Chain A
Amino acid sequence: MKEIMAIVRMKKTGVTKKALVAAGVAGFTAVKVLGRGNLVTDLKAIEECKAKLLSMGMDEFSESGDTEKMVTSFLDGSRFFPRRLFTILVHDDDVPRIIEAIAKANRTEYGIGDGTIFVLPVSDAVRVRTGEAGEAAIW
């Protein structure tokens, strides 16, 4: 028995839900969270986007240093952004299939900020309605 925690983009919630149902899961829980990942060490990856955002900046109204600082903090991973946290309980054999489904649905061309999947061991589960425990409670 494993618990899969997947943190994905807000925009991808619907796609992820569809992918999970298609992959065959018993059910899942989704929570709105705020999250951030590792700091961007390779500044070349954000250069293009930064230039684009800076060209939209209103420099005549704000100190140019402020604008640049803000745009950088948006792109380099030091700021928290809304994300959706999916929690899914699955049998051990189903783990690779479901991870593949989540990853396929969530990959974008940006290369940064697509989310992370964690797999945790679960010691027991009980279905409240019937009282059955263990693997039978999942599916």
Chain B
Amino acid sequence: MLLIRAIVRPEKKDDVLAELSSAGFNAATMVDVVGRGKQKGIKIGGMVYDEIPKTLILMVIPEEAKDKVITMILAAGKTGKEGTFGDGKIFVSPVDEVYTISKGTAGL
């Protein structure tokens, strides 16, 4: 199983989650975060804004669903046709074990 950490624009999170839910990946956790990327924030006049609000979406998915989920997040999280700086990133890490508390069993 894999943990997907997707950092997306807050205004795009509903699109991304709706897209994933319609494909059967309903389970997700989201956290409001602030961050900056390679461009070192946004410079407007003399002010540098390097704490830009984003939403971090956490999902644990089966390994075979990885490509599908990533393609969907990339498509739904993009701004404009080409995409823009600040659209976010996706990180993938391995997960060893998963337990559902209410059922008391292992697995998603």
Q: B27 contacts the other chain (Cβ, under 8 Å)?
A: yes
Interface of B, secondary structure class, is strand
Q: Is the CB of A35 within 8 A of B97?
A: no
Binary per-residue interface labels of chain A (19-41) against chain B in the complex, 1 for a CB within 8 Å, 0 otherwise: 00000000000011111111100
Q: Interface with B: A49-57, A60-68, A106-114, A127-135, which one?
A: A106-114
B100 proximity list for chain A (CB < 8 A): 114, 116
Q: B31 contacts the other chain (Cβ, under 8 Å)?
A: yes
B26 proximity list for chain A (CB < 8 A): 36-39, 77-78
Give bound CA distance, A2 to B26, whole Å.
26
Kindly report which residue of chain A lies nearest to residue B21, judged by CB atoms: A78
The count of A-to-B residue pairs whose CB atoms sit within 8 angstroms is: 82
B103 proximity list for chain A (CB < 8 A): 111
**Which of B29, B60, B93 has the most chain A CB atoms closer than 10 A to its own CB?**
B29
**A78-B21, A108-B102, A111-B102 known; A119+B30 contact, CB < 8 A:** no
B108 proximity list for chain A (CB < 8 A): 38
Number of residues on chain A facing chain B (CB within 8 A): 36
Q: Is the CB of B27 within 8 A of A37?
A: yes
Give bound CA distance, A121 to B3, whole Å.
11
